[in-house]
Chains A and B, each alone.
Chain A
Amino acid sequence: GQQVMQIPQYQHVQEGEDFTTYCNSSTTLSNIQWYKQRPGGHPVFLIQLVKSGEVKKQKRLTFQFGEAKKNSSLHITATQTTDVGTYFCAGPRSGGSNYKLTFGKGTLLTVNP
């Protein structure tokens, strides 16, 4: 079945350093969604990418969807302690009438102040 892989599993950075997490799918995705989960919290939707090669920015966060629509990345510039959490990508099963969103295992980001 479809798999969504994320790397790295963990990333520890000093405050002010940049951070990138990568998401790879075994199948082509119609879209990809990114979520953030703070420690002890629940996943919160960040953004959805739909078009091949799409790039979207949210302040210090840059999201990219690959040309082949099988990979995506999230880059955070100049991390802050408020960025701490687990970042998940999620992609829907492509084709068919049975829609199902598959989440990656996530990348846990910790930031040293």
Chain B
Amino acid sequence: DAGVIQSPRHEVTEMGQEVTLRCKPISGHNSLFWYRQTMMRGLELLIYFNNNVPIDDSGMPEDRFSAKMPNASFSTLKIQPSEPRDSAVYFCASSSKIDQPQHFGDGTRLSIL
């Protein structure tokens, strides 16, 4: 079975540019999570969806960040405009139910110059 698929694996761009990260959850999983990982702050939950509906976006840093889940098999995390402090590894994870173990994708390593 395919796991959680994220793209791109790496992204290097200049500040001010729009960045879009993509995620395909495991088929049949109802919950999808976006995390950001940095050395300083560890693994932070940004937002999560249940049955394609955003449930908690309190972790989204600011209005420059937005996330969508138009259908059960696709989600995007967008940063516009990007800033150097957004540099981090962004993980997408999915689970069969909201309180079940989460399966992580390989992550997107984002560098904003």
Task: Decide yes or no whether A44 CB sits under 8 A from chain B.
Answer: yes
The DSSP consensus for interface residues of chain A is loop
Task: Decide yes or no whether B56 CB sits under 8 A from chain A.
Answer: yes
Residue total for B at the interface (Cβ-Cβ under 8 A): 18
Q: 0/1 per residue, B36-68, Cβ < 8 Å to A?
A: 000000110100100000011000000000000
Whether the pair B103, A100 counts as a contact (CB closer than 8 A) is no
Interface size band for A: 20 to 34
The DSSP consensus for interface residues of chain B is strand
Q: 0/1 per residue, A33-72, Cβ < 8 Å to B?
A: 1000000011111001000000000000000000000000
Whether the pair A100, B107 counts as a contact (CB closer than 8 A) is no
Which of B11-19, B20-28, B72-80, B94-102 is the contact stretch?
B94-102
In the complex formed, the residue of A with least CB distance to B4 is A42
Whether the pair A42, B42 counts as a contact (CB closer than 8 A) is no
